[in-house]
Chain A
Amino acid sequence: MNARLLPYVLILPVTLFLGVFFLYPFVLVAKLAFVGSEGLSLENFRDVISYWKFPISLKNTMLLAAVVVPVQLALALLMATMVNRMEKGRDLVLYIWTIPLGISDLAAGIIWLAIFEQSGFLNSMMTGLGLSDGPVNFLSYQNPGIVFLAIALAEIWRATAIMLVILVAGIGLIPKEYYEAAEVFGASPWQRFRRITLPMLRPSLQTALILRVVLAFEVFAVVAALGGTLFPVLMGEIYAYQFDLQNTNAAAALALIVLAISVVFTLIILRALRVPKGATI
């Protein structure tokens, strides 16, 4: 087949598919964002941005992503390299570590609420061990720091596996000879990690990071379960516009803003972790 046409043939199915099931509804909805009370305008964008909760939910969303994603990246890298060295029981350990993949965000919210609520497991344990006299109210407006921590922990627990699986598959492709050669030259494990694993893993790192960051901006269910009304995030505001206020135009406008933020961060990651064509050895 003509080599110039081949890539287009290969991407055609995806393009058609996304064209019908994503672009078509997306254009219909996105259009609404620009429809104001008197024809075309940016009124909806002005409305959602000037709403007093917008800066708070924007800050919360960004802050959560800024804390959660790097921790997840570090943790996933650590787990992936650890499992890479393993001889016995690798299957089992990896299975356990990928379990949270199968757990929906709603279910994860339920689980972590059972841990942090006033009569929850954490308080039971602390009382049992004599660390506290009675149940402590972790998820209250008086302890915004703890609320944030609880949300971050739950998110780290729930979504690290996504990165782990991608990285494990990527690490598996790095030829073992590299490590053996490095060992011969006396490279420390840290040096091996810095000089071999990280550079070779770049394509997988890029993918894992982009997917995770995009999803981090869409965080909602876990936050709602643990943070209640204390920790508004952008996605919650979108749902409020769409379903509580039935203002699809404003919801679409806010969703487009989130989309723009995602695009900016994606571009940054793409730049920072540029993957050379068909990585050479």
Chain B
Amino acid sequence: MTDAATTLVDQSRTRSSGRWLYAASITLLCAWVIVPLYLLLINTLSAPETVNSFPKSFIPEFDLGSLQFFAGFRGMLEALRNSIVVALLTMVMSVLIGAPAGYALSRFEFRGKELFRMLILLTRAFPLPLLALPLAVLFIRTGLDDTAFGLALVHTTLALPFAVLITFSLFSGIPVELEEAAWTLGCTRLTAFTKVVLPLILPGITASAIFAFVISWNEVFAAAVLTIENRTLTAFLLQTLGEAPMHLKFAGGFILVVPALIFIFAVRKYLFAMWGIANR
């Protein structure tokens, strides 16, 4: 970097105004995401009368009544645990099953490839609530019904297209030459993969893992039909949230949002930690 020595006044002026614009747009975009959530928080921390009042205040009054209502709800913790189990299982299964297929799609030409891709996409193009009935019958007959594993299987079906396509696009971004170079240096296909390719696509794997987790976390219909005693938090709370009084609607929505946010926060490092290994 030698531009410090050659800085012209002009250039530095455009650069600083460019930088200002850059910082401003980043701030603006952050605000765009955060403000609606902040409004949710305000309503969560407001007494029922405030939620229904007008004009609304933009500062929360820290009334914990609505949250306390849920704290006293029997079965919340159990439902939370079920949700986490199902989401983790979904995450692991969708990555383990999906990533190899993503690799195959990016590296090989084979007969039926287009058909296979279509199959994957179609999975997301048909509404699950219509499929729930035959699936539930199948599950009841095979004993998968009302288990975390059974529900995770359905959620994995929903998450697989993401896992396969994301890993496919990332593998496609990694030059074959990189692998070929590893082979000439004595690696087998497998070791070349684990030593060269895998570290490169970890961010992508994390991205698909996040998708899987979040899809499972927020899925309502299959959860409501396929779990009875082992209800997930979403089936337990969210499916009836639309009919709750306003203040509880907001508090319930908030409670559902928080764990997902914590999860994304916890894995965000991995999403970007491997950043730029290719170029440094």
| Binary flags per residue of B122-158, CB closer than 8 Å to A gives 1, else 0 | 1111110111011100100000000000000110110
Q: Does A207 contact B104, Cβ atoms closer than 8 Å?
A: no
A275: B residues at CB distance < 8 A? 169, 172
User: Quick one: which of B165-197 are within 8 Å of A by CB?
Assistant: 165-166, 168-170, 172-177, 189
A97 touches B55 (CB 8 A): no
- Give the distance to chain B from A152, nearest Cβ to Cβ, in Å: 14
Question: CA A263 – CA B127 in complex, angstroms?
Answer: 14
B200 within 8 A of partner (CB) = yes
Give complex CA distance A17, B163 in Å. Answer: 13
- Judge whether B29 and A111 touch: CB under 8 Å: no
Residue of A nearest to B242 (CB): A106
Instruction: Decide if A39 is an interface residue (CB 8 Å cutoff).
Output: no
Return the contact of B54 from the options A101, A135, A235 (Cβ within 8 A): A135
Is A157 interfacial (CB-CB < 8 Å)? yes
Contact of A255 with B126 in the complex, beta carbons under 8 Å: yes
A252 with B173, Cβ < 8 A, contacts A7-B110, A111-B253 known = no
Which of B103, B170, B241 gathers the greatest number of chain A CB atoms within 10 Å?
A: B170
By the criterion of a CB under 8 Å from any partner CB, how many residues of chain A are at the interface?
A: 102
In angstroms, how far is the closest chain A Cβ from the Cβ of B126? 5
Given contacts A11-B116, A22-B157, A106-B242, contact A242 B130 (CB under 8 A): yes
Residues of A within 8 A of B52 (CB): 119
For the complex formed, measure the closest distance between the CB of B188 and the CB atoms of chain A, giving whole angstroms.
10
Q: Evaluate whether A204 and B169 lie within 8 angstroms (CB atoms) in the complex, with A172-B203, A266-B121 already known.
A: yes
130-152 of chain A: CB within 8 A of chain B = 135
The reply on A186 being an interface residue by CB < 8 A is no
CA–CA, A97 and B264, complex, Å: 11
Q: Does B71 contact A (CB under 8 A)?
A: no
Query: A123 contacts B127, CB within 8 Å?
Result: no
The answer to whether A169 touches B207, judged by C-beta atoms less than 8 angstroms apart, is: yes
Segment at the B interface, from A23-31, A48-56, A57-65: A23-31
A206 to B98 CA separation, bound complex (whole angstroms): 18
- In contact, B56 and A119 (Cβ under 8 angstroms): yes
| Contact B130–A169 (Cβ < 8 Å) | no
A103 close to chain B: CB less than 8 A: yes
Mark interface residues in A70-91 (1 if CB within 8 Å of B CB, else 0). 0000000011001001100011
- For residue A222, CB closer than 8 A to chain B, the reply is no
Contact A173 B39 (CB under 8 A): no
| Contact residues in A for B57 (Cβ distance below 8 Å) | 124
| Separation of A281 and B118 alpha carbons in the complex (Å) | 28
**Quick one: CB contact mask for A196-236 with B, threshold 8 Å, 1 for yes?**
00001001101100110011011000000100000000010
Q: Knowing A13-B101, A91-B269, A218-B127, say if A102 contacts B170 (CB, 8 Å).
A: no
Q: Closest Cβ of chain A: how far from B25's Cβ, in Å? A: 7
Task: Judge whether A170 and B170 touch: CB under 8 Å.
Answer: yes
Q: Which of A99, A162, A255, A280 has a CB less than 8 Å from the CB of B33? A: A99
Q: A127 touching B138 by the CB < 8 A rule?
A: no
> Is A66 in contact with chain B by the CB < 8 A criterion?
no
**Considering residues B124, B160, B203, which has the most beta carbons from chain A within 10 angstroms of its beta carbon?**
B124
Verify if B232 is at the interface (C-beta below 8 Å from A).
no
Within 158-183 of A, Cβ neighbours of B (below 8 Å) are at: 162, 165-166, 168-170, 172-177
Q: A15-B116, A21-B153 are in contact. Are A102 and B55 (CB under 8 A)?
A: no
Instruction: Check if B225 is an interface residue, CB within 8 A of chain A.
Output: no
Contacts of B36 in A (CB 8 A): 111-112, 115, 157
Q: Chain A's nearest CB lies how many Å from the CB of B45?
A: 13
In the assembly, what is the distance between CA of A91 and CA of B153, in Å? 32
Decide if B214 is an interface residue (CB 8 Å cutoff). yes
Partner of A10 from B104, B109, B156, B203 at Cβ < 8 Å: B104
Question: Smallest distance from the beta carbon of A78 to chain B beta carbons, Å?
Answer: 8
Q: Are A7 and B25 in contact (CB under 8 A)?
A: no
Are A18 and B160 in touch, CB under 8 angstroms?
Answer: yes
Closest to A128 in B: B55
Binds A, one of B4-12, B61-69, B72-80, B271-279: B271-279
**CA A23 to CA B79, docked complex, whole Å:** 30
**Which residues from chain A contact B126 at a C-beta distance below 8 Å?**
22, 26, 255, 258-259
B106 contact set on A, CB distance < 8 A: 203, 277-278
Docked complex Cα distance between A214 and B278 (Å): 32
| Interfacial residues of chain A within 3-47, with CB under 8 A of chain B in the complex | 3-4, 6-8, 10-11, 13-15, 17-18, 21-26, 28-29
What are 7 of the A-B contact pairs (CB < 8 Å)? A24-B138, A110-B241, A166-B166, A166-B207, A177-B279, A203-B170, A278-B106
Nearest 5 CB-CB pairs, A to B?
A: A102-B260, A104-B218, A176-B279, A10-B104, A124-B55
